[in-house]
Chain A
Amino acid sequence: MTWETVIGLEIHTQLATKTKIFSGASTEFGAAPNTQACAIDLAMPGTLPVLNAEAVRMAVMFGVAIDAEIGLISSFDRKNYFYPDLPKGYQTTQLERPIVLEGAVDIQLDDGSTKTVRIHHAHLEEDAGKSLHEDFHGMSGIDLNRAGTPLIEIVSEPDMNSPEEAVAFAKKLHALVVSIGICDGEMAQGSMRFDVNVSVRKKGEELGTRTETKNLNSFRFMERAIVQEVERQIDLIEDGGKVKQETRLYDGDTHTARSMRSKEEANDYRYFPCPDLLPVEIDQAYVDAVRASLPELPEARRARFTDSYELSAYDAGVLADDVATAAYFETTASQCGDAKLAANWVTGELAARLNSDDVLIQHCPVSAEQLAALIARIIDKTISNKMAREVFGAMWEGEGEPDAIIEARGLKQVSDSGAIEGMVDEVIASSAKQVENYRNADEAKRPKMLGYFVGQIMKASKGQANPQQVNEVLLQKLNALL
């Protein structure tokens, strides 16, 4: 029996405005609790919201980037519920008339094919504050610094059919919003958070009952949560049970999700139009101006990378999707002068290290300039690729510039032909038996027999002899003895 998974995503994306969506308080992350919450954010009596025009511009920018229809008249509604991190007792959001309407995003799948995921809409809203449960001896603390941070909630259609597709879509959107500068993309700080709607069905049947899992703030958590939820639903149905429509909460510490509330317990949010805010009216000229200001999108960059750097489609994809990675690569390539080698390093050694240490390229301890300097030493044959990896490791640990490390560790490759010739001569002289065997061997077998000599020479040079040069000199001298 084949099951089909159906996934839809809601993505809360914090907009990178300087101030909040309805107040002048700063949105900077990491300030001491409640130092960035003004009277409006605290919902003091008599205070009123004023919409931040920059939040509107960024939302429209997202809309034009996914080629969506833009709501020329959008409006705000109040979503009513009581919670300590929601000072007004309602969230100001857009229900009836969102600012971004239908759009679509193409994702590339591992098999090389492309799939289109439709965007239902994206709306502007305010973020809530945070409850702090530690250090208060049985009570909870509230930090309202985040309250009022502008968000766009991007709502997809249920167009994804596997965790991999969902992750590909999420990554794609992440790359996009960072590329166009409307979100800092700092997942660990909650700049992008996912709610996943998951259901399963047998192929060809009606959609199954869906559950919503909230509070996923990394691609890995999202993937795990979907895998688990799909298994849970299939097990449930195969055991004769039914999936209940419910909201589930994912715990990133235990990697488990639990039911938060069932459909019956769902809040009645009593939405109604917010009377404190006028509808937002923009015209086509505004939309066109925002469109004209769009920076290069990942798609276009990918094409440019394949064309001008002659990269493979795969490498171009990896390098172009994320704006920070793309910038890193381009700086490295232009400074070292070898795009192919730069691409290998950025997608290889660097990516592996970023991944294993869970570091964003924005925070990479090795700058693009430093990596380019390292690659330049490979190009000019000062060091071998293998040595370069060692130097890179030292650079990652903060030991300094590549030349200084090469010097300090004595890693300079011996490319002095006189020195190499001397070493070759010595090895040939002390290996009479092997030389004899070489001379008597079939021509076809000879190349394999070189390994012994090379090994001896490298040993003699403590690994610092330029291997290519060693090969050349050795071959020349052995062949002269034939």
Chain B
Amino acid sequence: MHNLTLAELSAGLGAGEFSSVEVTRHFLARIKRLDANYNSFITITEEQALAQAAVADQQRAAGSVPALCGVPIAHKDIFCTDGVRTSCGSKMLDNFVPPYSATVVENLAAAGVVVLGKTNMDEFAMGSSNETSYYGPVKNPWHTDCVPGGSSGGSAAAIAARLTPAATATDTGGSIRQPAALCGITGLKPTYGRVSRWGMIAFASSLDQGGPMARTAEDVALMLNQMAGFDNKDSTSIERDVPDYTANLNQDISGLTIGVPEEYFGEGLNPLTEQATRDALAELEKQGAKLKSISLPHSHLSVPAYYVIAPAEASANLSRFDGSRYGYRCENPADLRDMYMRSRSEAFGDEVKRRILIGAYCLSAGYYDAYYNKAMQVRRLIKEDFVSAFNDVDMIAGPTCPNPAFEFGAKGDDPVAMYLEDIYTIATNLAGLPGMSLPCGLVDDKPVGLQLIGNYFDEGRMLNVAHRYQQVSDWHSRCAPGID
């Protein structure tokens, strides 16, 4: 049952082959039995899940229900869940139980999904390896000595280990696409503003975007159908109709022009990853797509610009964690300053502190123009690169990451090496464009991903291309060794 996709589970529930309670029990049992190996969940919501499943079964018996009614999923622990601890992977929020739910959580609940639990993540979504979580690192099901990627590593690993058929995730600089690539699953970061950020704990507000992860493009489309939409509680969400993302999955892709940026195939790219990517592109060409070499000349500036803008926003976003209203407070503070300093020093991890310091520095008097303003200028140039590229091509494709999963601790001493793992994913966040990753091969028995970057609000066409590719490839349905 755990090998079924979301679409297949939905069909099985519809055909009465099994009940939601049975499916839910099955996945909960698997999580209990296997997750000690992966550490992909922070919180398991067994009781609530079974109650939701029972309700879903009743609703299904009573009449027509949404496609996802009764199927189990998991939420990244960055999405606030009413009455369920939401930690954001941090000691700071280890005791935080929100009295409200994220819009994404509510939208999915309205469709009748069952929530198995909350998945592990890098602390405050700051990391590319899931090593910064207060709850310990998540292990890559393909190779448990290796990282699953981050920051949505818990969601990606849980799906790869067949502990949940789908999960929510967020992406600020690659946090959906990179772990999806490293764990051999499919993940999509929508256009900025497509999915509400209400109730999603902020890292870098102008870059953060929630999105779905699952094994197939079809499942991702089913999830996105529920997650996307305008929300009047988020001023940056965009008022625009949500299409049915499953409607055109099978559409012919012949005649589609796919741009291949030369900058994404340069120095630093693992040759085997490159080969897998080029093979996948060739497959798309075989289906009638036209490949066209393009240039995104400011690509090399995306990592430096990102590591000014994201920490700058984070330095302000994380100021609210001050020990006074919720979350961690140090023992016996002597005075206000002591409470601020010790609460934050004791509850934030090193990477979070590093980014707060970088951000505060970049915004400080005398440095603002040289760092923040300059980075914002670069951001505009990067966006213009894409806008002009999309005058000539319908979509852009390349590798998701330069390398397959690396071992724990491999980049621990070198934050810059870690930051460079996001070199191909960051630019889309800076431009606000949608990006997705889908499995396209194995390098050293570890998955690698093909990245698709679409024009604004072109998620439907990206899912169409991904689905067509998945009709003629089986990377997405391969299972990590040792997983039955």
User: Which residue numbers of A lie inside 8 Å of B, CB to CB?
Assistant: 39, 42-51, 78, 80, 82, 84, 87-90, 140, 142, 268, 270-272, 275-278
Contact = CB atoms under 8 A, between A and B. Distances in A.
A146 to B, nearest CB: 15
A275 B313 contact: yes
B430 to A, nearest CB: 13
Nearest to B124: A45
B235 A50 contact: yes
B364 A272 contact: no
Contacts of A89: 316, 319-320, 322
B324 interface: yes
B340 A80 contact: no
Nearest to B197: A48
A180 to B, nearest CB: 27
Given A88-B320, A272-B368, A278-B235, A46 B80 contact: yes
A88 B79 CA distance: 19
Contacts of B324: 84, 142
A48 B365 CA distance: 27
Which secondary structure dominates chain A's binding surface? Answer: loop
Nearest to A270: B363
A140 to B, nearest CB: 8
A276 B201 contact: no
A49 B99 CA distance: 17
B198 A46 contact: yes
Given A43-B325, A46-B201, A142-B324, 9 more contacts: A45-B201, A48-B234, A50-B234, A82-B340, A84-B324, A90-B319, A268-B364, A275-B204, A276-B202
12 contacts: A39-B99, A42-B325, A46-B102, A46-B202, A47-B198, A50-B235, A80-B315, A88-B319, A270-B316, A272-B313, A276-B202, A276-B205
Interface in B311-328: 312-313, 315-316, 319-322, 324-326
A278 B372 CA distance: 18
Interface of B: 79-80, 86, 88, 93, 96, 98-100, 102, 197-202, 204-206, 232-236, 312-313, 315-316, 319-322, 324-326, 336, 340, 360, 363-365, 368, 372
Contacts of A84: 322, 324, 336
B16 to A, nearest CB: 38
A139 B148 CA distance: 46
B199 A47 contact: yes
A466 B319 CA distance: 76
Given A46-B199, A47-B199, A142-B324, A272 B80 contact: no
A80 B368 CA distance: 14
Contacts, number: 101
7 nearest interchain CB pairs? Answer: A89-B319, A275-B206, A270-B363, A275-B205, A43-B320, A46-B199, A45-B201
B4 to A, nearest CB: 32
B93 A45 contact: yes
B102 A277 contact: no
Nearest to B333: A139
A46 B200 contact: yes
Nearest to B339: A84
A87 B147 CA distance: 36
A477 B253 CA distance: 121
Given A45-B80, A84-B336, A276 B236 contact: yes
A313 B315 CA distance: 57
B253 to A, nearest CB: 35
Nearest to A50: B235
Contacts of B93: 45
B198 A44 contact: no
Nearest to B312: A272
A211 B94 CA distance: 45
Contacts of A88: 316, 319-320
Contact of B364 (A46, A49, A90, A270): A270
Contacts of B100: 39, 44, 47
A270 B320 contact: no
A47 B96 CA distance: 14
A48 B364 contact: no
Contacts of B202: 45-46, 276
Nearest to A37: B325
Nearest to B366: A268
Given A45-B93, A272-B372, A50 B233 contact: yes
B107 to A, nearest CB: 15
A268 B367 CA distance: 11
Nearest to A78: B316
A372 B211 CA distance: 69
Nearest to B231: A48
A51 B236 CA distance: 11
A50 B120 CA distance: 30
A51 B235 CA distance: 8
Contacts of B368: 270-272
Residue among A46, A51, A84, A89 with the highest chain B CB neighbour number at 10 A: A46
A45 B320 contact: yes
A45 B233 contact: no
Contacts of A47: 100, 198-199
Nearest to A49: B235
B234 A80 contact: no
A87 B204 CA distance: 18
A377 to B, nearest CB: 59
A23 B220 CA distance: 33
A395 to B, nearest CB: 50
Contacts of A87: 320, 325
Nearest to B324: A84
A48 to B, nearest CB: 5
Contacts of B205: 275-276
Contact of A270 (B98, B233, B340, B360): B360
Contacts of A90: 316, 319
Contacts of A278: 235-236
A210 B288 CA distance: 73
A327 B202 CA distance: 50
A82 B322 CA distance: 8
A275 B193 CA distance: 12
Contact of A45 (B98, B232, B315): B98
A277 B312 CA distance: 16
Contacts of A142: 324
Contacts of B364: 268, 270
A458 B462 CA distance: 103
Contacts of A268: 364-365
A46 B315 contact: no
Contacts of B201: 45-46
A39 B102 CA distance: 12
B22 to A, nearest CB: 33
